[in-house]
Amino acid sequence: MTQQTDYERIRVDRPGERVARITLARADRRNAQDYKMLYEIDDAFSQAIDDDDVRTIVLAADGPDFSSGHDLSAGGDPIDEFDRVTEWGGFGKEGAEGYYATEQEVYVGLCWRWRNLPKPTIAQVQGRVIAGGLMLVWPCDLIVCSEDASFSDPVTAFGVNGHEFFVHPWEVGARKAKEMLFSGEAIDAETALRLGMVNHVVPLAELEKRTLALAERIAERPSFGLTLAKRAVNHALDGQGQWTTIQNAMGLHHLAHTHNRLVHNGLVVDPAGFSIIKKGAKRG
């Protein structure tokens, strides 16, 4: 496998014993995710999996906010320049066909791969995590966040049910998932802790240190035990129908994309939606 190291959107380092860290390095854009960033993250995860000296992987982010979500300016672009990692193809086909395949590959497909990586992953989160930002955090096994962290998926403002990796009912519970989606409002760190969505809330100044300490503690344990424990828990979620739920929701999500293209001539570009989200941000 070719070892890519010249990343443009991320950095990779080894901050501790048997710990690899991937850091989103697009702080000037609040770590908005374009396709290049997502494929770079995927490549870095793959390299960490192939390295037997790595037992735990941390996913961190530069700047005040973990991630503002998908870079909408990239929406609808072809992904031909990247090597696909799922079974999907036909990304350039017209109408809903090509874009459905694209989002199955680059959003759902990548998230599902990361959720199933055979090594424990820990998201280290500060500031805002918005919509697609959750799709980097939720596939991780553990989440450590700072007190200022907040989590939202405001896309019903665009007439969409939720972001593509629809695991909201598992992450925050069905009741809170509905409120989160209906209102578009953010869940704060303490609420996320109470709901079991995050493992630990720590002061921002201690976020890196505390995350690494947890990563190193886990990395002292046998790799096979970690892999098997992860699979056992993931299989419990599989048994509850998590994958089927994601795929059902993805159909609704693309119904919304197609509707918006027909009515608003864009994926999510309902001008009213932007003003709703802006109003909500001021309140929050």
Q: Where are the beta strands (DSSP E) in 95-169?
A: 121-125, 128-130, 142-146, 150-152
d(CA 252, CA 257): 9
- Nearer to Zn ion among residue 69 and residue 120 (C-beta): 69
Question: Smallest distance, Å, CB 257 to Zn ion?
Answer: 6
**Sequence-ordered list of residues with C-beta below 8 angstroms from that of 10, at least 6 positions apart, any chain:** 22, 23, 24, 25, 37, 40, 41, 44
- Nearer to Zn ion among residue 103 and residue 105 (C-beta): 103
Number of amino acids touching Zn ion (CB under 5 A) = 1
In the window 19-78, what residues touch Zn ion (CB under 5 A)? none
Question: Smallest distance, Å, CB 164 to Zn ion?
Answer: 5
Residue nearest to Zn ion (CB): 103
Question: Smallest distance, Å, CB 139 to Zn ion?
Answer: 16
- Nearer to Zn ion among residue 19 and residue 38 (C-beta): 38
Contact 148, 127 (CB under 8 A): yes
Stretch that binds Zn ion, among 55-63, 87-95, 97-105, 151-159 (CB under 5 A): 97-105
In the window 98-127, what residues touch Zn ion (CB under 5 A)? 103
- Nearer to Zn ion among residue 135 and residue 189 (C-beta): 135
Question: Smallest distance, Å, CB 255 to Zn ion?
Answer: 11
Instruction: DSSP letter for 70, please.
Output: B
Question: Smallest distance, Å, CB 107 to Zn ion?
Answer: 7
d(CA 27, CA 100): 29
Contact 79, 140 (CB under 8 A): no
**Residue 213 structure tokens:** 């300490």
List of residues contacting Zn ion (CB under 5 A): 103
